[in-house]
Structure 1
């Protein structure tokens, strides 16, 4: 690990000012960042500790939603009574994501910013466009079993790793930040992540020194909340394919509300509102589900080892819809 300067911030504005240099990083739980520093994938010259900031609250909003501080631990967020009662899909996604020890340290804001688990990103003697822009992407013709099939480019096929962010995307979360000039920005999560295109090292729209302070959820959506995660082992592996869903039916048994967000298959948490619209107000029959899967996966591209994710996603989508129609929870 390379030498760095350690600073503690007492206010969000001070933290943003401390972290203005491009090679400065915020640290809270550090569950991903410290690993990256040990491998010298990340080599900050400054670490700005934000743990003293008063950002550990979960508050009700006037609109009937929740405002979550960036320092709320994953464990506390998953166990919060309002989350369990009104946003159970979020609680389930977090609990599926990591061990209790990691959830106790990992923070809400940090979870959004964790880096991909692509083999080549962590293999520092290998080219990787995320680590070294322009060096190449050996994953395209190499070990790519766990990598993305949607949102990819010729420069990168790395998958987004977060379970929590998939549920947050489903719930239409908004990220609040403070910038170095003191201004507050609100970023809908759907606009937060960048597709890799030819700049896969740019992963979010955050500016230098911009600090996530809160995540705001709108009022809860009625329906069955589920989080299904297909993985290589039952105990805390990253998703091959996951699906966060809120589905409700009307008195006639038709699909009245359909929300779907997917993990493991995209370079960011993946949601396609056209798929949801296609399924809404239907009986959810096999033909309609097939049309929805075709639409969801029309731009999907496997690279050999990860080809199986395409039929696996189809089966998971069908399972989620049929279970909702049968009235069975997760």
Structure 2
């Protein structure tokens, strides 16, 4: 019988449990000790893998105020310390590198269709440079989002991408920027590369589940080490009133049958017994959690000793809406 606390492997990474902590916003940039304390609690709790909060590669990006900027003079100091903390508990860590807007000098928010070839190469080189920084800092890998509503998810989405060159049209062409990028990183860096991919996009003529499966097969071919399933504005779908779990689970099962790389699913999970049930009635092996770690950084300790089996997170989404790494209620 599988449980969330099974020791397992995620590609080349050894995990102490099947739980992947996913980060989002960082509201404590000015208090490194608070960040270190939070990561120590998470790493010591029994988590299998930690994915960092968003790291911003562009200082004028939409969410740069709510994430740690990679050009910050303290970034490498902070990153090295986080790797040191997590590794002291034998927990690997991935750096989450994403952006919502691409800026060309004084021109802010360049649309996907207006990117020149120089812009495409600049985006690729900027992400590769970010990955190099993570490797130097001692991180085990990088998570690249081509999901949610970040820029690269728009690039691969036919709703946004109407380019008529080799980077537009069919799924392969729309994925070309990402595929080239991943190939270079796999050939030149010693990092676990994880990609976050949308199951589908709700917009008419947008990215659908068939295209998503095709995109994931292409990622596997260029050497991606794991895939995390998500959807646009995902925390809003997993509340007490609205749940998209069945849809997400069904897609994840199809993806697991379609690719030969580890697949991670996140869906507002907050109950250990429910999660163990999913593990044992499906082929799902890994689950990600975000808000429960905000509500209580080390809640997994209670789960592991069976003192509790449900997160105290109220799913109010205040942490998501206000872009904070701390909980409003606790």
Specify if TM > 0.5.
no
Instruction: Looking at secondary structure, tell me which structure has more helix per residue.
Output: 2
Normalised by the length of structure 2, the TM-score is 0.24
From the CA coordinates, give the structure whose radius of gyration is larger: 1
